[in-house]
């Protein structure tokens, strides 16, 4: 009993805490996103790493999340938080064929 009470209290505390937001990493290489589709939870962040020897750009015009992370060169990374549920289409302004669909789940 002496050990049960602290364990129960710890469990209750863990359940009460909000879920930790995850970070998803997407590479930009050979003028492509490393994946075409990504499922994340609301509140998660997506980190875009430029693994090409030239600049990339990441932007979205989706109603759920519209943003432009600007242009950045090799080895650099930028992140964006997916704070609303829905579908976010991500593009690269420099390379129009690059597309990534992110499904943000509630």
How far is 84 from 65, CA to CA, in rounded Å? 7
Q: Please say which residue, 84 or 95, places its beta carbon nearer to other proteins.
A: 95
We find the least distance from the C-beta atom of residue 95 to other proteins, in angstroms, to be 7
Under the criterion CB under 8 A, does residue 81 sit at the interface with other proteins? no
Task: Catalogue the E-assigned strands of 42-85.
Answer: 45-50, 56-61, 66-72, 77-81
Among 21, 64, 81, 94, binds other proteins (CB under 8 A): 94
Q: Please say which residue, 24 or 95, places its beta carbon nearer to other proteins.
A: 95
We find the least distance from the C-beta atom of residue 68 to other proteins, in angstroms, to be 5
Tokens of 56: 């990339």
Among 8, 39, 66, 83, binds other proteins (CB under 8 A): 66
Give the distance between the most distant pair of CA atoms in the chain.
Answer: 63
What contacts 35, CB < 8 A, 6 or more positions away?
26, 100
């Amino acid at each position: 009993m002496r050990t049960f009470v602290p364990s129960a209290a710890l469990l209750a505390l863990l359940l009460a805490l909000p879920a930790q937001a995850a970070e998803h990493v997407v590479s930009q290489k050979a003028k492509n996103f490393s994946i075409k589709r990504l499922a994340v939870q609301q509140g998660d962040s997506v980190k875009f790493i430029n693994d090409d020897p030239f600049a990339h750009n990441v932007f979205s015009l989706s109603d759920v999340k519209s943003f432009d992370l600007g242009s950045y060169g090799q080895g650099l990374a930028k992140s964006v938080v997916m704070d609303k549920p829905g579908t976010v289409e991500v593009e690269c302004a420099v390379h129009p064929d690059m597309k990534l669909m992110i499904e943000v789940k509630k």
